[in-house]
Amino acid sequence: MTVPGRPLGRLAANLLVLALYHTLSRLPFGLRYRVAMAAGRAIYLAWGKGRARLKHNLSLIAPGLGGEELEALAREVLKTIVRDWAALFRTGKSDLVETTRLLEVEGAANVIARVVNRGGRAFADRVVLAGIHMGSFGAGLDAFSLFQIPVYAPAESIRPDALLRLMVKLRSRGFLRLEPIERGTTRARMAQRMDCGWAVGVMVDIMSRRPGGGVACRVGDGVGWFETGAVRLALERQAVIFPIFVLWTGEKYRIVVEEEFRPVASGDADRDVEVNTRRLIEERIAPWIELHPGQWMQAPWAGLAPAPHTPGAAAGPLETARDPGRPHSSK
């Protein structure tokens, strides 16, 4: 006789997600946000281990903060996550006028310069859009729909399954195609879409744990393992990478498309992925996380370790300690 606890638990979680969506999607955004925020606060208070990890990660990203400042940052992270999901849980597709009102886009010309029109259709010339879970993942995707740039984006696995399927359904639209990541097939699909003129959106965020792969990179006084997919694809297809960042300003989402990042190839494929991933993260991504840690939605799961130079830290895989400088903002 088997104990069906785990399958029943997954089923219950999936049913809960669907019930919450069908309930919340009918509410106006303000009420939807307040309901989601109440649930988020309850989880935050009950999840002692997760709350401690979040504050530990924030203390490494923004060293020198006191207890009250860390608590305020932690609650800002919670608000960022709740706002993003509250906006997603709605009926129907996003209204173009409403979407335009909520977005302020800088640097879109960087990508548009690599898009050509053929037979009335836009074709992107080997473009990788590299984003992180900052501000709002969905708002960044909406921005490219406004410019009618076809984007293909594999969606990282999340649990429960119903939440992943729902996210893919709600965020896919005319110029955006989201598909769940599938081991052994996603890399080939990304390359195929790129060859057909799609820009490929790949998250370069930190890995919550290291199941294999990843590169150790520095953020503030911490070290974490970051995804390599964007750099690997760019090296294999001779593509350019555009780092993208989304920030909530209090009234709208500010989306910044930075100047292109070109991976440098030496002929050693594995070494090139490692070196260029570290360049991308430490020189272009980490400075934004350090400036806006309260809007980085991966902070609760980052699992950062103290960097080697930090007092009391053990030697780690990071080769060099760099000053990442300031974000490369493009107007």
Task: Evaluate whether residue 24 is within a structural domain.
Answer: no
Task: Evaluate whether residue 85 is within a structural domain.
Answer: no
What's residue 57's pLDDT? Answer: 96
Count of structural domains within the chain? 1
- Torsion, Cα of 6, 162, 49, 84 (10° steps): 180
Residues 130-152, mean pLDDT to the nearest whole number = 84
Task: Evaluate whether residue 294 is within a structural domain.
Answer: yes
Task: Evaluate whether residue 81 is within a structural domain.
Answer: no
Task: Evaluate whether residue 64 is within a structural domain.
Answer: no
> What's the half-sphere exposure (Cβ side, CA atoms, 13 Å) at 331?
0
What's residue 320's pLDDT? Answer: 37
pTM for the model: 0.85
78 vs 316, more confident: 78
CB 199 within 8 A of CB 122: no
> What is the C-alpha radius of gyration for the chain, rounded to an integer number of angstroms?
20
- Residue 119, domain CATH: 3.40.1130
Percent of the chain with pLDDT over 90: 52
183 contact partners, CB below 8 Å, separation of at least 6: none
What's residue 323's pLDDT? Answer: 37
Determine the structural domain holding residue 128 and report its residue range: 93-306
Task: Evaluate whether residue 88 is within a structural domain.
Answer: no
What's residue 268's pLDDT? Answer: 95
Determine the 3-state secondary structure of 150 from DSSP: coil
Rounded Cα gap, residues 311 and 327, in angstroms: 27
CB atoms closer than 10 angstroms to residue 270: 9
Task: Evaluate whether residue 321 is within a structural domain.
Answer: no
Q: Side chain identity at 115, as an amino acid letter? A: V
List the one residue out of 238, 328, 231, 316 whose CA is nearest residue 278.
Answer: 231
Task: Evaluate whether residue 137 is within a structural domain.
Answer: yes
With a cut of 90, say whether residue 38 has pLDDT above it.
Answer: yes
CB atoms closer than 10 angstroms to residue 203: 21
Residues 198-224, mean pLDDT to the nearest whole number = 85
